[in-house]
Amino acid sequence: MTDLQIDHGIDRKIDTSQMKVTSEVAIQITDMNKWFGAFHVLRDINMTVNRGERIVICGPSGSGKSTLIRCINRLEEHQAGQIIVDGTELTSDLKNIDKVRSEVGMVFQHFNLFPHLTILENCTLAPIWVRKVPKKEADEIAMHFLEKVKIPEQALKYPGQLSGGQQQRVAIARSLCMRPRIMLFDEPTSALDPEMIKEVLDTMIQLAEEGMTMICVTHEMGFAQAVANRVIFMDQGQIVEQNEPREFFNNPRSDRTKLFLSQILGH
């Protein structure tokens, strides 16, 4: 099979020097099952994420990929199996949940910035109230990360005054202000206009280059090829196939994967 030509819109050279997968386990999911009422959304999920991994999860809509990463910071509760994040098992114990949440950053499809707070306040809120960082220091941390996502000049505006791409970059900065060790991205570019997708992907690539452990649910196959060290394909609540990106795209093994890839890359 010849190399698939993927228009990934990523025109920069990616610095892979810091992108190292270590043997330290960051997330361990064992035999995890979840139901929405009678509907079996996630079935026997087994997955180990090592520190430094950049994983892209793809699959048709309704395949449970968002639900899977939302289970990792307990936005969704799983009913069977085990999820251990950074050595902390997710149970109904609120302390554990808060501990995991403050160490796992999450970026949503619809940004979910707080519209009544300025960009700066959005970024300093959690450090001040959860981490008890003094306000001045929190402001400095926030400005540091806003510079990193290249919008420090917007700090005093409100989310409603920013474009979608800018809002999503603020959302990334807001998560980073909590100094997370793991970042979850739930379709971060799906709600964006095409010309804004690139600026958000650039920010995500930058994060990957710094060695962040990332799990992204995304349809940006260019990003997957350029940055991911592993692509997971899900369908009907199960992990159907996973592989390193080159093999995954050029040599998909299951028929479902082939069908899915031909649908999203075929046009």
Applying CB under 8 A, which residues contact other proteins? 73-75, 94, 98, 101-102, 104-106, 108, 110-116, 125-126, 129-130, 158, 160-161, 174-175, 178
Least distance CB 248 / other proteins (angstroms): 28
Give bridge partners of residue 82 from the DSSP assignment: 30
Tell me the longest C-alpha to C-alpha distance in the chain: 57
> Nearer Cβ to other proteins, position 35 or 158?
158
List the structure tokens of 1. Answer: 């099979």
Least distance CB 115 / other proteins (angstroms): 5
Least distance CB 89 / other proteins (angstroms): 17
d(CA 212, CA 57): 16
Least distance CB 130 / other proteins (angstroms): 5
Within 13 A of 51's CA, how many CA atoms are on the CB side?
A: 12
How do the residues of the chain divide into helix, strand and coil, expressed in percent and rounded to 5?
40, 25, 40
> Nearer Cβ to other proteins, position 127 or 252?
127
> Nearer Cβ to other proteins, position 186 or 235?
186
> Nearer Cβ to other proteins, position 112 or 243?
112
Report angle CA 98, 104, 109 to the nearest 5 degrees: 110
